[in-house]
């Protein structure tokens, strides 16, 4: 997979505060990369640097082989962004008027009636509200409208800062499905920040984890989760036996037990030998993103 963005020893100071400290990262073309970290870890600073909104104290950023500073307006033809701190729409305009206004700035005519915009309106279930003032939209509706506007430029790299923060389930689902569709059908590169573990689990191909301005991890999601392999959980399914049924969960007529480690599972099996003939399945559970993050923060596993 081609590196669309590369950072070499990227560092940013704000007076005496080192917001980012010597980051070496690559962002792959046509994938979704999640930038993770606690509040104040440097996520927003990194996005602003990648968008050339601020300049690094030292280090370099390349879009493919070109330094970001030499791209000029070419950078903004290639990128689009929805940042949490920036209002992307006008309240007094209807959704359609917002789309018409921003498409006009891009020199596009009749963008609203284009198959692309109509497809997005359908996928994001915004058709019924598109002729109403955006000021009356819910947070989820505003975020959907902002996403459509960001996609008007047909940029191949999309930056999203907390795209589903505070949204209801249906809005989260619509946005997540649309982002996957954009990658699969148009080959978009998407860079997002989020604190929502389920969203990261579903969408991310790669993970960049920051803490206190330092890089804890950069790589694919499977490798990220494997860092916490020794703390895997296990699920045992048993049909009968003498055991404390209060600890079990009934699923399809069988008892299920969740164990926090392989050691805990082994001890339970040793203590319940009569149950062994009735055990139908033992499976290693997928690592939860929250557990992996806790492991990184606890161990401070810096790359």
Encode pLDDT of 129-150 as tens digits.
999 999 999 999 999 999 999 9
- Res 239: pLDDT: 80
How many degrees, rounded to 5, is the angle at CA 155 between CA 5 and CA 182? Answer: 95
* Residues 203 and 239 both lie in one domain: no
pLDDT, mean of residues 42-59: 94
* Residues 89 and 153 both lie in one domain: yes
User: By the 8 A CB rule, do 148 and 117 touch?
Assistant: yes
* Residues 170 and 185 both lie in one domain: yes
* Residues 37 and 126 both lie in one domain: yes
* Residues 156 and 260 both lie in one domain: no
Rounded Cα distance, 92 and 89, in Å: 9
* Residues 112 and 244 both lie in one domain: no
User: By the 8 A CB rule, do 41 and 67 touch?
Assistant: no
Residue 109 lies in a domain: yes
* Residues 165 and 79 both lie in one domain: yes
* Residues 140 and 262 both lie in one domain: no
pLDDT, averaged across the chain: 88
- Res 301: pLDDT: 52
Given a cut of 60, whether residue 180 has pLDDT beyond it is: yes
Range(s) of the domain holding residue 187:
3-226
Residue 12 lies in a domain: yes
* Residues 83 and 99 both lie in one domain: yes
Rounded Cα distance, 17 and 271, in Å: 55
* Residues 119 and 263 both lie in one domain: no
Given a cut of 70, whether residue 5 has pLDDT beyond it is: yes
pLDDT, mean of residues 201-220: 93
Residues of the chain with pLDDT > 70: what percent? 91
The angle, 0 to 180 degrees and rounded to 10, between the axes of the packed helices 169-186 and 115-123 is 140
User: By the 8 A CB rule, do 239 and 257 touch?
Assistant: no
Residue 15 lies in a domain: yes
Residue 201 lies in a domain: yes
Residue 291 lies in a domain: no
In tens, the pLDDT along 100-124 reads: 999 999 888 878 999 999 999 999 9
pLDDT, mean of residues 182-205: 92
* Residues 104 and 192 both lie in one domain: yes
Given a cut of 60, whether residue 303 has pLDDT beyond it is: no
| 173 or 85, which is more confident | 173
Residue 29 lies in a domain: yes
Q: How many domains would you assign to the chain?
A: 2
* Chosen domain end from 226, 246, 274: 226
Given a cut of 80, whether residue 295 has pLDDT beyond it is: no
- Res 52: pLDDT: 93
Query: Can you spell out the DSSP letters for 195-208?
Result: S-HHHHHHH-SEEE
| Closest by Cα among 41, 58, 53, 43 to 7 | 58
pLDDT, mean of residues 244-250: 68
Given a cut of 50, whether residue 55 has pLDDT beyond it is: yes
User: By the 8 A CB rule, do 130 and 121 touch?
Assistant: yes
How many angstroms from the chain centroid is the CA of residue 298? 22
Rounded to two decimals, what is the model's pTM?
A: 0.80
The residues with which 235 forms a beta bridge, in sequence order, are 258, 283
Helices (H) then strands (E): counts for the chain: 10, 14
pLDDT, mean of residues 153-181: 92
CATH classification of the domain holding 178: 3.40.50.300
Residue 293 lies in a domain: no
Residue 300 lies in a domain: no
* Residues 207 and 99 both lie in one domain: yes
SS3 percent helix, strand, coil of the chain, rounded to 5, is 40, 30, 30
Residues of the chain with pLDDT > 90: what percent? 53
| 71 or 289, which is more confident | 71
Q: Measured in Å, how far apart are the chain's first and last C-alpha atoms?
A: 21
């Amino acid at each position: 997979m081609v590196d669309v963005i590369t950072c070499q020893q990227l560092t940013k100071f704000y007076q005496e505060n080192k917001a980012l400290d010597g980051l070496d990262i690559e962002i792959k073309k046509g994938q979704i990369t999640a930038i993770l970290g606690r509040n104040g870890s440097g996520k927003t600073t990194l996005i602003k640097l990648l968008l050339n909104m601020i300049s690094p104290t030292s280090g370099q950023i390349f879009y493919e082989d070109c330094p970001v500073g030499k791209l000029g307006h070419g950078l903004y033809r290639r990128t689009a962004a929805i940042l949490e701190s920036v209002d992307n729409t006008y309240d007094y305009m209807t959704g359609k008027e917002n789309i018409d206004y921003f498409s006009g700035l891009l020199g596009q005519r009749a963008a609203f009636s284009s198959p692309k915009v109509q497809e997005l309106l359908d996928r994001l279930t915004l058709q019924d509200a598109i002729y109403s003032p955006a000021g009356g939209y819910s947070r989820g509706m505003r975020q959907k409208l902002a996403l459509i506007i960001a996609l008007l430029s047909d940029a191949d790299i999309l930056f999203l800062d907390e795209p589903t923060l505070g949204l209801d389930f249906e809005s989260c689902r619509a946005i997540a499905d649309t982002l996957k569709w954009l990658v699969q059908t148009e080959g978009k590169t998407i860079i997002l920040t989020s604190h929502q573990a389920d969203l990261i689990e579903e969408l991310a191909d790669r993970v960049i984890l920051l803490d206190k301005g330092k890089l804890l991890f950069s790589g694919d999601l499977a490798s990220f989760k494997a860092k916490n392999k020794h703390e895997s959980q296990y699920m045992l399914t048993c049909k009968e036996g003498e055991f404390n049924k209060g600890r079990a969960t009934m699923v399809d007529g069988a008892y299920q037990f969740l164990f926090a480690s392989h050691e805990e599972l082994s001890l339970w099996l040793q203590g319940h030998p009569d149950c062994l003939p009735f055990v139908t399945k033992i499976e290693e559970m997928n690592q939860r993103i929250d557990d992996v993050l806790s492991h990184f923060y606890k161990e401070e596993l810096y790359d």
